[in-house]
């Protein structure tokens, strides 16, 4: 009895040590499952989905010779530099880039269905036999290992349809990324020109305030000389105070415009920014045939390309669901090895075909197919609605641009006329040949004409960019063709 116990005590630690050693090896082995460059995980792109080559900003939208490095905010920025910084830093572009890469990974998953699968299963257990079982040593251990490989031979096109669905969704994601980039470009362009317009508005307000001060001083001088009434002086003073308030409001609007521009660029709203001053130039060839523009937009708009791809993906999903309800044929190879300690070991291998025939699933496949068909109809309706919206977008943007260009010409004539009228009325008032009302009216007309000219220039620049975005052609070349000059610099007055 004592000898049997001592034998068991010597055997049990040895067996436990073997189990713990096997467990430790398995733990170390499983820790490498997700290591880079293993058979379980590849850090590259083994199935060539181009996931590692998808750019954050596609080449046609990035400004040449401008990288995504942090911009030099101590130097004046052009519109092209503002646009490029916005594309690099705006969270919207980051979101769409991540979404596109995620869809590229889904394409890799779809491609993996064309490769065989290989699984290995290892198991062990320890047993202690009762006193009435003397067929083997005590305790005894079993070790099993099973290696199985399988490959899908035929599934009535399910893999093909799934792969096509993933390809079209990747195309849709890429087109959606381009559409969002154009939206960011347009937003940055609008924010840039709003800053420029507010800068011009502040400049015009200062000029109007200075002119009003001159009228007030003239009225005050005539009042002191006894040739004007107190009403003249008070009216001139009131006009001066109103224009001072207008100037203060314009300066506040400018700071808000700077904050909005910084936000679009992915910077803090209180970040001081230097800008190259804008000079309006009439866009060339804006009176092209609008019908041709609408036709071109139908071929170029990235959101329509995305919608078409989503429709094709939905149609492929119908085929996938139909094929999923049909049989599939697979080939399999397996090997199973077993060691039962004192019991004889076994080693068996097999090769065979498996035919899986779905007989009845509670009509679920029928409703999956119907749902896929309804989804395809939905995508088709969305595509058709977008086509109509694109024609309206191009038409509206074209008419706005034509109106804006004509307004710029008219407002320039208006400013020249108002300036001449104000000079004449002020001179006549100083000479005692006119009253203060005529002078103040001319002064108000000049201020109004200057603001209209500023707004017309802003509308023309924005309308040109909006038309390009409506046609799907708002890219880096378009941005660099928009009017800017580098002669004068302006900046935010914020600390």
pLDDT score of 471 more than 80: yes
Token pair listed for 353? 């075909």
Res 39: pLDDT: 62
The residues near 290 (Cβ < 8 Å, ≥ 6 apart) are 394, 395, 398
pLDDT score of 164 more than 90: yes
Lowest mean pLDDT, pick from 108-112, 134-138, 447-451: 134-138
State which H helix or E strand residue 196 sits in. Answer: helix 158-224
DSSP lists the bridge partners of residue 354 as 330
**Domain extents for the chain?**
51-115+158-325+362-491, 117-126+143-154+327-360
Res 392: pLDDT: 95
Token pair listed for 81? 């530099």
Res 17: pLDDT: 44
pLDDT score of 430 more than 70: yes
- Would residue 474 be called left, alpha or beta, if left means φ above 0 and alpha means ψ between -120 and 50 degrees? beta
% residues pLDDT > 90 (the chain): 37
CA distances for 69 relative to 84, 92, 118, angstroms: 10, 18, 45
Res 48: pLDDT: 85
pLDDT score of 29 more than 60: no
pLDDT in tens, 313-342: 999 999 999 999 999 999 999 988 887 655
CA 136 to chain centre: 69
pLDDT score of 49 more than 90: no
Reported confidence tier of residue 129, pLDDT bands at 50, 70, 90: low
pLDDT score of 174 more than 90: yes
pLDDT in tens, 403-422: 988 888 898 899 999 888 88
Identify the CATH number of the domain defined by range 51-115+158-325+362-491: 1.20.1600.10
pLDDT in tens, 366-397: 999 999 999 999 999 999 999 999 999 999 99
Range 211-219 average pLDDT: 82
- Mean pLDDT (the chain, rounded): 82
Res 132: pLDDT: 61
| Complete DSSP assignment for 213-266 | HHHHHHHHHHHHTTSS-HHHHHHHHHHHHHHHHHHHHHHHHHHHHHHHHHHHTT
């Amino acid at each position: 009895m004592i000898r049997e116990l001592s034998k068991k005590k010597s055997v049990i630690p040895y067996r436990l040590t073997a189990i713990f050693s096997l467990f430790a090896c398995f733990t170390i082995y499983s820790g490498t499952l997700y290591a880079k460059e293993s058979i379980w995980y590849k850090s590259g792109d083994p199935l060539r989905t181009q996931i590692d080559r998808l750019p954050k900003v596609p080449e046609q939208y990035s400004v040449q010779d401008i990288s995504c490095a942090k911009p030099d905010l101590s130097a004046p920025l052009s519109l092209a530099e503002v646009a490029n910084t916005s594309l690099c830093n705006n969270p919207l572009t980051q979101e769409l880039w991540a979404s596109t890469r995620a869809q590229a990974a889904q394409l890799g998953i779809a491609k993996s269905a064309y490769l065989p699968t290989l699984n290995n299963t290892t198991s062990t257990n320890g047993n202690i036999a009762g006193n009435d079982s003397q067929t083997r040593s005590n305790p005894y251990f079993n070790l099993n290992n099973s290696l199985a490989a399988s490959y899908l031979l035929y599934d009535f096109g399910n893999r093909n349809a799934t792969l096509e669905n993933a390809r079209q969704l990747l195309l849709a994601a890429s087109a959606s990324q381009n559409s969002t980039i154009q939206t960011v470009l347009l937003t940055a362009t609008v924010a840039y020109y709003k800053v420029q317009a507010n800068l011009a508005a502040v400049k015009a307000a200062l000029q109007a305030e200075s002119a009003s001060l001159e009228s007030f001083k003239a009225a005050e001088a005539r009042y002191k000389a006894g040739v004007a009434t107190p009403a003249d002086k008070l009216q001139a003073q009131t006009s001066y105070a109103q224009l001072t308030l207008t100037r203060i409001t314009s300066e506040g609007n400018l700071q808000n415009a700077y904050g909005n521009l910084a936000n679009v660029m992915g910077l803090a709203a209180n970040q001081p920014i230097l800008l190259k001053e804008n000079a309006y130039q009439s866009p060339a060839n804006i009176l092209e045939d609008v019908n041709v523009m609408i036709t071109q937009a139908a071929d170029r708009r990235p959101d329509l390309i995305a919608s078409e791809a989503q429709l094709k993906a939905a149609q492929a999903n119908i085929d996938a669901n139909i094929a999923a309800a049909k049989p599939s044929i697979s080939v399999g190879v397996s090997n199973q090895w077993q060691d039962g300690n004192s019991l004889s070991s076994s080693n068996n291998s097999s090769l065979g075909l498996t035919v899986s025939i779905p007989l009845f699933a509670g009509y679920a496949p029928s409703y999956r197919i119907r749902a896929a068909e309804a989804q395809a109809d939905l995508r088709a309706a969305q595509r058709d609605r977008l086509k109509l919206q694109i024609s309206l977008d191009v038409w509206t943007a074209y008419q706005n641009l034509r109106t804006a260009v004509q307004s710029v010409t008219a407002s320039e004539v208006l400013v020249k006329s108002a300036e001449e009228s104000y000079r004449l009325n002020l001179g006549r008032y100083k000479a005692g040949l006119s009253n203060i009302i005529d002078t103040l009216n001319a002064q108000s007309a000049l201020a109004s004409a200057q603001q209209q000219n500023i707004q017309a220039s802003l509308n023309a620049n924005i309308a040109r960019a909006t038309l390009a975005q409506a046609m799907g052609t708002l890219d880096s070349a378009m941005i660099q063709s928009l009017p800017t000059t580098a002669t004068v610099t302006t900046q935010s007055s914020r600390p």
